[in-house]
Structure 1
Amino acid sequence: MTHRTAIALAALLVSPAWAHEAGGIHSEKSTQVEAAFDLVHTHVFKDGSDLVFEQLVDGQAGSRLPTAKGSFAGAEVYSYVWPTSLNSGAVGFEDDSGILALALTSHPDFDDTPQLDENGDGDKANDGGLWHSHWVVLTKEPSCGPSGLKVRDIPEGAKPKLPPTWPGVPIYIDSPGYDLSVKNDAAQIRVPLSAVGFPASFNYDGVTAALQVNANLHDPLLCVSSVWDVASGDLSLPATWKSMD
């Protein structure tokens, strides 16, 4: 089973109703998905020297946050995710490590952006509940339940290549601190083209999902626990961004 096939298993949790058109992926509204996570349009487009990753939802984007549990172990993560065909090495991980995905996340129980002070209060360790950006590498993991997916773990003693803004957590995650917006029906992250090596093209999809930290804090550390919506319906990454230069 390939990594692409593994991530497609997560799509079985939702009822596909979609149409792929020029300019991203247009998805039908669903009464089975909470409006804040019900995808209606997933798009990546160029704006100046940036790539803008955008998801439009049926409700208020970012209006639902995880309930704090009081500890890192067992903590929940809510996310808007763009799985891509970009190689994991494009942003500083080891090449060919899994599925490289951009994610907009919120998790009030922990802070994984140690180089940033998002709320400007002088404390860099209390911002996890604010929406922020990550690159993650997804791989298959049968023990993660119906999704069969996790953020790739880093075994004890291993020293893989990692981005300079890796937050020190033993998983393939990066905390790049990109500009973002969560407003009205739109969730957006702005990624400098230079940050992904000026690709000529890549494919992408859209997902809204929850992840959960393992209560025992061991491999798998961070599972995809619930998949709410998939833009394409089957995670086939049907949309393509192409450079016009």
Structure 2
Amino acid sequence: MIRSTIAAAALLASVSLPVLAHDHHSDGLKSAESPAVLAPFDIIHTKISTTGKVATFHMAVSGKAGASTPTATGQLAGSDVFSYVWPTSINSYDVGFEKDAGILALAVTAHPDFDDTPLFDENGDGNRANDGNLWHSHWVVLQPNDQCGKGALGVVDIPEGQTPRLPKTWPGLPLLLDSPGWSPTFNGDTVEVRVPFDSIGVVEEASFDGVTAGLRINQSVHAPLLCVVNVMDIASGDLSLPGKTNK
């Protein structure tokens, strides 16, 4: 059901890409370069691989990964988020949320107008509340939400007064979003995140896709709070999650 839901959302967004092999990135999903997509977000390769109990989430683009970040607006409402995202078939329960809460995705994001990693001081200046402009990682739970736009996805809101199951590193925002503190690594055209799992089998059995996208904070908390407003690229072309871990 999740796979068909996000496939429908992608078709409504009318985003598609042909598939083309690239010699310098092996396995996973390979995609054609697209002149219509900004090079730092033009996906050419996506994969998830495991070694021991660590999963490496890998994405390569046709330009320099991480080279472009949002322009600061000076306020939270209406501010932008840029992201590299791995939607997966992993159940939300396996990383600390309620079971079957939505589409679980690992995201690497940057957003200069707010900080959502209150446990970590990414820039090392002694202030843990001013690091949102630096690329960092999240688990997010996504669902289609027409309030974000016809067929668009949003990060799932936590309704006022409800206390769902949440990861220990949940940052306190009214969203199904976790800030686990795994630092992404950028190297030329590639971004990677190494993620430890107690039960690595849930990753080894998973399917995945790759997405680059812009998100936006809405004016009020449950409008919803965080919407996907600009899908830049999709590795598979249709968000069908065709990738298989270690394949």
What TM-score, normalized by structure 1, do the two folds share? 0.93
Q: Which residue in 1 is equivalent to 2:17?
A: 16
Q: Which residue in 1 is equivalent to 2:101?
A: 97
CA distance in 2 between counterparts of 1:103 and 1:58 reads 19
Q: Which residue in 2 is equivalent to 1:7?
A: 6
1:162 aligned to 140, 163, 166, which one? Answer: 166
CA distance in 1 between counterparts of 2:186 and 2:21 reads 24
* 6-15 or 73-82, larger mean C-alpha shift: 6-15
Q: Which amino acid aligns with 2:124?
A: G
CA distance in 1 between counterparts of 2:210 and 2:20 reads 13
Question: Is 2:36 the partner of 1:35?
Answer: no
Tell me, what secondary structure is at the counterpart of 1:43?
A: strand
Question: Is 2:134 the partner of 1:122?
Answer: no
Q: Which residue in 2 is equivalent to 1:25?
A: 29
User: Kindly tell me: are residues 198 and 3 of structure 1, through their superposed partners in 2, closer, same or farther at Cα, counting changes over 3 Å?
Assistant: closer
Specify every segment of 5 or more residues in structure 1 that has no aligned partner in the other structure, as ranges.
none
Instruction: Quote how far apart the aligned CAs of 1:239 are.
Output: 0.8
CA contact (8 A) 2:53 2:200 kept: no
Tell me, what secondary structure is at the counterpart of 1:115?
A: coil
Instruction: Quote how far apart the aligned CAs of 1:193 are.
Output: 2.5
Deviations along 1:36-91, one digit per CA (max 9) or x if unpaired, are 00000001112443111010000000000001111111110000000000000000
Q: Which residue in 2 is equivalent to 1:50?
A: 54
CA contact (8 A) 2:18 2:31 kept: yes
CA contact (8 A) 1:113 1:175 kept: yes
Instruction: Quote how far apart the aligned CAs of 1:101 are.
Output: 0.2
Deviations along 1:119-139, one digit per CA (max 9) or x if unpaired, are 111000000000000000000
Tell me, what secondary structure is at the counterpart of 1:130?
A: coil
Runs of 4 or more above 6 Å deviation:
none
Specify every segment of 5 or more residues in structure 2 that has no aligned partner in the other structure, as ranges.
none
- Two-structure CA RMSD over aligned residues (Å): 1.8
CA distance in 2 between counterparts of 1:5 and 1:148 reads 14
CA distance in 2 between counterparts of 1:84 and 1:23 reads 17
Deviations along 1:80-116, one digit per CA (max 9) or x if unpaired, are 0000000000000000000000000000000000000
CA contact (8 A) 2:209 2:235 kept: yes
CA distance in 2 between counterparts of 1:5 and 1:73 reads 32
